[in-house]
Amino acid sequence: MSTLVLTLPLGTPGPAAEYSYTLTADGHTATRHASTTAALLPDPGRAGEIVAVVPARALSWQQVTLPQGATAQAGRLRAVLEGLLEEHLLDDPAQLHFALQPGAQPGSAAWVAVCDRAWLRGALQA
């Protein structure tokens, strides 16, 4: 199965934005790599997958301790994260996208990656 790994551009997303990419047929060896616009990105094939990488400069990393009773329900967990992070964020939490560390458990410390929601949506839609 081939995989297209692309780095989302930091700037304003749009048709002229450049995406750095690597294409691999086996997940281990690069078969091609370059930078191009979204329209010219190679097709990973019918059974392939696309992995989008958010640049480190676009992320803020926050550590939280999930309260007991925090559930994996998307709406409920988002509200819990907004409450935990509200004092630590410069932007309105409603304008941000949160990615919680996989396997996070209530009562334990966990990392949350935070980025601008509109930027992420625009970069992925392009």
Summarised one tens digit per residue, pLDDT across range 13-52 is 888 899 999 999 988 899 999 999 999 999 888 878 999 9
Give yes or no: residues 60 and 118 share one domain: yes
Give yes or no: residues 86 and 105 share one domain: yes
pLDDT band at residue 75 under the 50/70/90 scheme = low
Query: Domain containing 100: what range?
Result: 56-125
Give yes or no: residues 38 and 63 share one domain: no
**Number of domains observed in the structure of the chain:** 2
- Does the pLDDT of residue 74 top 60, yes or no? no
pLDDT, position 66: 87
User: Each residue of 76-114: pLDDT tens digit?
Assistant: 888 888 888 888 887 888 899 999 999 888 888 999 999
Give yes or no: residues 11 and 68 share one domain: no
Indicate which CATH number applies to the domain containing 88: 3.30.420.380
φ, ψ at 43 (rounded to 5°):
-85, 125
